[in-house]
Amino acid sequence: MTTDPTPPPTPDALPWRPPRPLIVHFGVDSAVAFLALVLLGLIFGVPWGITAIVALAIGAIACRYTQRAEIRALAQRPHPSPEQPPT
């Protein structure tokens, strides 16, 4: 702790990047759904194949929503000022 009243420096804005492709969102969403369903499947004795099929269906539905959420989040990200030299 210091007695200096100056606020800490804010980090520079992150560089712009395009949103990830829909297939990436599908893969990640399916993997997360599979891991969540495996826990339930182990408790209730659901076969692995059914768990995988349901996880792929959930991933196919959720990928569009997660990609839209990423696009909105990237649009709200502050952009670096063109006057500032890169550090």
Q: Higher pLDDT residue, 6 or 71? A: 71
User: Quick one: CA dihedral 37, 43, 48, 53, positive or negative?
Assistant: negative
pTM above 0.85? Answer: no
Q: What is the pLDDT of residues 3-55, one digit of tens each?
A: 767 765 556 677 889 999 999 999 999 999 999 999 999 999 999 999 999 99
Of 31, 22, 26, which Cα lies nearest the Cα of 51? 31
> Is the CB of residue 22 less than 8 Å from the CB of residue 64?
yes
pLDDT value, residue 78: 80
